[in-house]
A = this chain, B = another copy of it.
Amino acid sequence: MKSNIKMRLLSKVFQPLITIPKNAKIKSTEVTCKSQKLLLECGLIRPTSSGLFAILPLAQRAMDKLERHICKHIEAAGAQRISLSSLTPASLWDKSGRLQEMGPELMKATDRHGKQYVLAPTHEEAITDLLADVGPLSYKQLPLILYQISSKFRDEHRPKHGLLRARHFTMMDAYSHHASEDCVLNTYERISRAYRDIFEGLGLKVYRVEAPSGAMGGSLSHEWQAVAEAGEDSLTICQRCQHAGLEAKCPRCGGEGEVVSSIEVGHTFVLNTRYSSPLGACYTDAQGARPPLRAACYGVGGSRLLAACVEAGGRWPRGVAPYSALLVPPKEGSKEWQQLGWSAVEQVYSQLSVLPTLRDDVIVDDRCDMTIGKRLMQANRMGYPYVVVMGKAALESPPRYELVCESSTQLLTMPELLKTIDTIDHGNMAAEKVTA
């Protein structure tokens, strides 16, 4: 009965749904926050060991989209993508002093010849060593901005909150190198604008907060905090000027602050010569001298950002949803089912796929032994941006469909429905363009 058009079917997606009883432990870990519970229950992730996760197909689609979103904005700021090995010689960490400083947080592996490697949580040592190794760059080649999106490792003493504090996670890390401190600061602000575009594009409320530099070293650093109930961190937002910081009284206008919970989704650092001096990475200036490179580094937590999107609640951000639209056909055996048949489902699927913003991004909830109500409840929990329901009105002439999106449900003919989605999507894209 199902044929012709190749539709994406939810029944074929590997999505092991579970229900987690209150206070239950999963792989001996407590379920402590909303994103963790939702990601687990909706079959998006699955713990495989303490603080380690399998990213399942729907979450993987979201991660792939998130990565492309980050790449687009960071490359627009001039960054070039590379990949550094996860295995970084421990000798480099010793030279920078971080082998001792970070201690047991560093995962380590020893090879068959006895050489020790750090499973890198970040790559300041590795990138600086690379630039030292290729020999001095000319000042004409600066600034140079390199970035990667890759697995990172941190041996958390007590992993928790699902993807929020995992031991293996995905991170975008960028490194800029410069001849002058002015250039460092200009680029730092340029990348900060790219960060704002990244977070705004996801509909997240993220504040840049001045922060201590900690183990990273350097002279200036900012945390990027997304407002979220389940957050481990907190920040104070001035009621008067919206300045975000850690102090109760606003340092800018003296206004009173409101404390909110937050998730750290990024961290940026001006490093200057913190790593280039000990690791010997220099450039050739116009006079032929070889001063050390000046650097800044920038991190965005990939899997953390995904969790933050889920924590923010409601529907997936449009650009990151595993699928943009879910089509819910009638229940098997219902009057609609009998009169419309599967060909009507294929037709609606094709019509939706005509919209460029939905191409390859519509999925059918073909578990038609379940009532529309039950499937709709699961769909809303999953948070697909658009849910299209073929209910009773699909029998009318012309047929009408329920469009569930944002916070409303509307009964629309197909042309109306397409126009509504198109208008919302173009509104979103226009909003993103303004910030870009």
Q: How many Å lie between the Cα of A115 and that of B167 in the bound state?
A: 13
Closest to A134 in B: B16
From A52, A87, A110, A141, name the one whose CB has the most chain B CB atoms within 10 angstroms: A87
Pair B155/A85 contact, Cβ less than 8 Å: no
Pair A80/B57 contact, Cβ less than 8 Å: yes
With A48-B129, A133-B46, A135-B16: A53-B146 Cβ-Cβ less than 8 Å: no
Partner of A130, one of B46, B86, B87: B46
Partner of A82, one of B52, B60, B88, B130: B60
Closest to A168 in B: B85
Pair A89/B49 contact, Cβ less than 8 Å: yes
With A14-B146, A49-B89, A112-B104: A55-B83 Cβ-Cβ less than 8 Å: yes
Contact residues in B for A54 (Cβ distance below 8 Å): 82-85, 126, 130
Please encode chain A, from 54 to 93, with 1 for each CB lying within 8 Å of some chain B CB and 0 for all others: 1111001101100000000000000011111111110000
Q: How many Å lie between the Cα of A60 and that of B104 in the bound state?
A: 32
From A50, A84, A104, A144, name the one whose CB has the most chain B CB atoms within 10 angstroms: A84
A153 within 8 A of B: yes
Contact residues in B for A88 (Cβ distance below 8 Å): 48-49
Contact residues in B for A111 (Cβ distance below 8 Å): 107, 155, 167
With A14-B80, A14-B144: A155-B49 Cβ-Cβ less than 8 Å: no
A150 within 8 A of B: yes
Q: How many Å lie between the Cα of A80 and that of B19 in the bound state?
A: 23
Pair B155/A84 contact, Cβ less than 8 Å: no
A417 within 8 A of B: no
Please encode chain A, from 151 to 188, with 1 for each CB lying within 8 Å of some chain B CB and 0 for all others: 10101010000000001100000000000000000000
Contact residues in B for A48 (Cβ distance below 8 Å): 84-85, 88-89, 126, 129-130, 133
Q: How many Å lie between the Cα of A109 and that of B87 in the bound state?
A: 11
Closest to A126 in B: B48
Determine how close the nearest CB of chain B comes to the CB of A102; give it in whole angstroms: 12
A13 within 8 A of B: yes
A271 within 8 A of B: no
16 extra interface residue pairs, beta carbon distance < 8 Å, beyond A11-B141, A14-B144, A86-B168: A14-B80, A16-B135, A48-B88, A48-B129, A49-B85, A54-B83, A54-B126, A54-B130, A56-B82, A57-B146, A60-B80, A64-B81, A86-B86, A108-B109, A111-B167, A151-B151
Q: Can you pick out 25 interface pairs between chain A and chain B where the beta carbons lie within 8 Å of each other?
A: A11-B141, A14-B141, A14-B144, A46-B130, A48-B85, A48-B88, A48-B126, A49-B115, A50-B115, A53-B85, A54-B82, A54-B84, A55-B82, A56-B82, A57-B81, A57-B146, A60-B80, A60-B83, A61-B81, A85-B168, A86-B151, A87-B107, A87-B153, A104-B112, A112-B155
